[in-house]
Amino acid sequence: MTTTLRPAGPEQRTENGGRARSYEVAVNGRRVGSLDLATDERLGAEVGRMERLDIDAPDRHRGRGTVAALAAEEVLRGWGCTQVAVSIPAQATAGLGLAGALGFGERSRNMVKELTEVPELPPGSEVRPMGEAEYPAWLEHERAGYIRDWLERGVPEEAARAKAESAYATLLPDGPATPGALLRVLAHHGTDVGTIWVAVGPEGAEETADALEAWVYAVEVAQEHRGHGHGRTLMLAAERDGLAAGARTMALHVFGGNTPALRLYESLGYRPTQYHLYKQLL
């Protein structure tokens, strides 16, 4: 029996050269599922995305999804993509298993924690708002690190720089005065040791009828002050500020391979909600 992809509609094109098309997964001409393919709007046309791969229940566990994913890779190669990406919910164990079997690796993950109690900061630690004079150097440092993180994970330089420019212009249009943006500096016994950027509300996360969500965009301890628990203190300060602003959950995004950060977040009670995986197309 032959599993193939069959176009379910015309290909869509965007002004910036992006492509998208929906497909049916078919076995000997019989529809057994569906799949959407697109180039990544944020990372550029060289990065393709597999979205919403779904095999009908009666045809699952027969290798249909595996063959469909491999066929999708061939389509993306034909589009000129050098990399394929997919985002999978943490609870979708079958999808994560399939991606692992196909050679996908983790680029990053989203994590979340429910906020309940206002945490206390360790003795000698104080947090203050970032000043206007401090902001330009912090922004330049953060932007450079953000670009470097994407480059190290195979994203083309032009796409990484464009993503950084768009992200900071959108999320911090007014710098420290941006509504909902909480830029903080941590001092320990009077010495500045780290910074954190949290957003609460429409600029940073989703607002629901029940509560706001806070989002940690960046946390960093200066190199010479690492290994003394300041990262944990910054996260506790972020949770305290989030609760004060009305948030009931704190979310974040962390790159795969950043073991110290992952261990810190897990020790604080953060759990993964979505994995972002990728694979080079040879």
- At 211, the pLDDT band (50, 70, 90 cuts) reads low
Residue range 171-176: mean pLDDT, rounded: 93
- Give me the CATH code for the 113-275 domain, please: 3.40.630.30
Q: Which of 98, 92, 104 is nearest to 65 (CA)?
A: 98
Length of the chain counted residue by residue: 282
Q: Is the pLDDT at 136 greater than 50, yes or no?
A: yes
Q: Which residues does 112 contact at the CB level (< 8 Å), separation at least 6? A: 249, 250, 251, 252, 270, 271, 273
Residue 249 bridge partners (DSSP): 114, 213
Positions of E strands within 69-190: 83-89, 105-114, 125-129, 181-188
**176, 130 contact by CB (below 8 A):** yes
pTM: 0.87
Give CATH superfamily name and number for 3-81: Gcn5-related N-acetyltransferase (GNAT) (3.40.630.30)
Helix or strand or coil: residue 155?
Answer: coil
- At 204, the pLDDT band (50, 70, 90 cuts) reads very low
Residues of the chain with CATH 3.40.630.30: 3-81, 113-275
Residue 164 bridge partners (DSSP): none
Q: In this structure, are strands 19-27 and 212-221 parallel, antiparallel, or unpaired?
A: unpaired
